[in-house]
Amino acid sequence: KVKGIYGYRRVTMTLNRRLGTSYNHKRIYRLMRVLGIQSIIRRKKSRYKKATPNHIAKNLLNREFQAEKPNEKWVTDVTEFKFGKATKAYLSAIRDLYDGAIISYVLGLKNNNQLVFKTLDQATTMLNGEQPLLHSDRGFQYTHLEFKRKIDKANMTHSMSRVGRCIDNGPIESFWGTLKCEKYYLEKYETFDDLE
């Protein structure tokens, strides 16, 4: 009757309404599979390809967000902004947990390795013998071998958030929230220069 539009959830709901029953969706799913009945509506394709990370670090920061001195613990991340009609820009930043200062940042039109590498290069030129712990999420830029090489070259220690635990990188996430509330959401940005 519905020309193959309904999947097992909607079939269950319709049957239960019309017949006054309370069949479980698992039963309907099993029976539909036995009968070879399936929704013809196309499934949404995932837009992201799951990549195998080249390098993963342990969560050494472990939500200990206090630092005793500058350049002891850094956190980093990338966030997205929109400007014009629907153009995107990406901001990569490194924040020092000692006083919340932004050590370095790069704004670009592409969320790629270069954006993150430039941010790290800027930050490491300011070091004077210190070897901070740098904490990031598991984004593709941070699991890249070149990022690991840059960390090792600066004698820094890399720490990573656990999968799906954005609170492990809370201080930088908090900074993005403040930046967007206090500045970004209050104005419209037509060009990249305006946004910058």
Same domain for 154 and 77? yes
pLDDT tens, residue by residue, 86-131: 899 999 999 999 999 999 999 999 999 999 999 999 999 999 999 9
Distance of alpha carbon 178 from alpha carbon 160, whole angstroms: 23
Q: What is the CATH number of the domain that holds 83?
A: 3.30.420.10
In a domain, 150, yes or no: yes
In a domain, 61, yes or no: no
Count of domains observed in the chain: 2
Same domain for 86 and 177? yes
Same domain for 27 and 85? no
In a domain, 190, yes or no: yes
In a domain, 107, yes or no: yes
Q: Determine the pLDDT at residue 110.
A: 95
Distance of alpha carbon 40 from alpha carbon 144, whole angstroms: 40
pLDDT tens, residue by residue, 26-40: 999 999 999 998 888
pTM beyond 0.85: no
Average pLDDT (128-152) is 94
- Residue ranges with strand state E in 38-101: 73-83, 87-96
Same domain for 145 and 77? yes
Q: Determine the pLDDT at residue 47.
A: 67
Q: Which domain holds residue 103?
A: 73-195
In a domain, 130, yes or no: yes
Residue 14's alpha-carbon distances to 48, 158, 195, in angstroms, are 34, 53, 50
Same domain for 170 and 78? yes
Output the average pLDDT for the chain. 92
Same domain for 94 and 38? no
Same domain for 165 and 126? yes
Same domain for 173 and 81? yes
Q: Determine the pLDDT at residue 38.
A: 87
Reported as a pLDDT band with limits 50, 70 and 90, residue 159 is: very high
In a domain, 111, yes or no: yes
Residue 140 has, within 13 A of its CA and on its CB side, a CA count of 10
Share of the chain above pLDDT 90, in %: 82
In a domain, 81, yes or no: yes
- Give every CB contact of residue 115 below 8 A, 6+ residues apart in sequence: 78, 90, 92, 106, 108, 141
Same domain for 165 and 92? yes
Q: Determine the pLDDT at residue 4.
A: 86
Same domain for 86 and 9? no
Same domain for 86 and 12? no
